[in-house]
Amino acid sequence: MDCVLHLSLERRLSITCSVLLCLVSLPGMSWAESKAADSQFVDIPEQGEVHFTTTEKEDQVPARFHLEPHSFPFTCEFKRMSGPVKVYDVTFPSPVKTDVKENNTVHGHYYQPEGPGPFPACVCLHILGGGFELSEMSANSLARQGIAALTIKMPYYAARRGSGAQSRRRMISFVPEHTAEGMTQAVLDIRRAAAWLASRQEVDAERLGVTGISLGGIMSALSAEAEPRFRKVAIYLGGGNLALGIWENPHKDAKRFRQHWLDNGGTFESFLEIMSPVDPHTYGKLLQDRDVLMVAAKHDEILPPKSAVALWESMGKKPELVWLDAGHISAAIYIFGETRRLTTFFSNWDRKKRSTDSTGS
């Protein structure tokens, strides 16, 4: 996908948002304050087991993302207080076993709101460049508004990267087969993340959602198509029709990839065949009965606007589509307004229409 070609830009976005996160974060509680607050939170065991059950719509899930009913263990350890929110380290095994041992454990942070609930809940997904500040900020903001949130590291990120020669493996790479494998594993990991949230006593299992930015936006759409429990989907700077976007990209790295692919006997059709099964555009109709928010950038230099339009059209042109007057990176200037839009979206489960202005506020 186009964002493969712009890791440096996404790192700049991550750095920018790190600064903004410092500006908006509230100081954490002291040890004494956290002890006093303990009684206001639902207890979470340090380890346990989650039972993954399917819904009546499991037969609509694309075959590569199907999961049979099963159980899986988890660990959960209190990490810190973030104002009125408890933050936990959460781990559970991936449903996929890879040659990289470290990649077979999913790591995440759970942001638990204060009170008994039941709260809506959301999985928050990170960007391509390996910066997790945006997803953590989104989760923190949601939890402060009474929406439980779980961030996870997708395959081959952070602690999942492996060591030695194996550490070079990436979820998104110039080897299309590796990309398709990584995206498939990520979707299955996210399905388990949804099951973990649904199992929580303070969470309303009927009000689950998923969100992310850039790569996280793409994966939010794809994982929602594979997980019927996600009733709300917020897609930021994401899109579909990914193979065509890469093939037409004028960047020198895209040209080098295309030439290498062609020199080794590949064609656009063979590239499309590999990428289509992990393209949210392929399964857009599965989101026609969900509440979907799409926020795109008019001048996106990483995922072209027509990619967002393609995904929107595949969903029957029904989702709310908000256009920001910005590029992929400069969209960071709208972060405060879009954080408000995001929390409003996940807070309101009855309201059908939200503001569609392009001011980001």
CA distance 70 to 27: 40
pLDDT above 90 for 204? yes
The whole-number pLDDT of residue 36 equals: 40
> Phi then psi for 182, rounded to 5 degrees?
-65, -40
DSSP conformational letter for 305 = H
| Residue pair 85/110 in contact by the 8 Å Cβ criterion | no
Q: What is the pLDDT of residues 215-233, one digit of tens each?
A: 999 999 999 999 999 999 9
The whole-number pLDDT of residue 355 equals: 39
Q: What is the pLDDT of residues 88-107, one digit of tens each?
A: 999 999 999 999 999 999 99
End-to-end CA distance of the chain: 29
pLDDT above 50 for 325? yes
The whole-number pLDDT of residue 357 equals: 41
The whole-number pLDDT of residue 164 equals: 82
pLDDT higher at 275 or 251: 275
Stretch 339-348: mean pLDDT: 97
The amino acid at 229:
R
> Phi then psi for 80, rounded to 5 degrees?
-170, 170
The whole-number pLDDT of residue 39 equals: 59
Which residues, in sequence order, are bridge partners of residue 212? 125, 235
**Tokens at residue 125, please?**
């997904």
**Tokens at residue 3, please?**
């964002």
Q: What is the pLDDT of residues 112-161, one digit of tens each?
A: 999 999 999 999 999 998 789 999 999 999 999 999 999 999 999 999 99
| SS3 category, 6 | helix
Q: What is the pLDDT of residues 286-320, one digit of tens each?
A: 999 999 999 999 999 888 999 999 999 999 998 99
**Tokens at residue 155, please?**
């395959």
Q: What is the pLDDT of residues 227-261, one digit of tens each?
A: 999 999 999 999 999 999 888 877 787 888 899 89
The whole-number pLDDT of residue 196 equals: 98
| Residue pair 201/193 in contact by the 8 Å Cβ criterion | no
CA distance 299 to 295: 12
CA distance 360 to 8: 25
Calculated CA dihedral for residues 12, 139, 290, 309, nearest 10 degrees: -10
Q: Which of 146, 44, 38, 138 is nearest to 91 (CA)?
A: 44
| Residue pair 324/334 in contact by the 8 Å Cβ criterion | yes
The whole-number pLDDT of residue 163 equals: 85
Q: What is the pLDDT of residues 10-67, one digit of tens each?
A: 455 454 444 444 434 434 443 334 444 455 999 999 999 999 999 999 999 999 999 9
Query: Which pTM value belongs to this model?
Result: 0.89
CA distance 361 to 358: 8
pLDDT above 60 for 193? yes
| pLDDT bucket at 166, cuts 50 / 70 / 90 | confident
Stretch 71-76: mean pLDDT: 98
| pLDDT bucket at 351, cuts 50 / 70 / 90 | very low
| Residue pair 326/333 in contact by the 8 Å Cβ criterion | yes
| Residue pair 360/334 in contact by the 8 Å Cβ criterion | yes
pLDDT higher at 297 or 352: 297
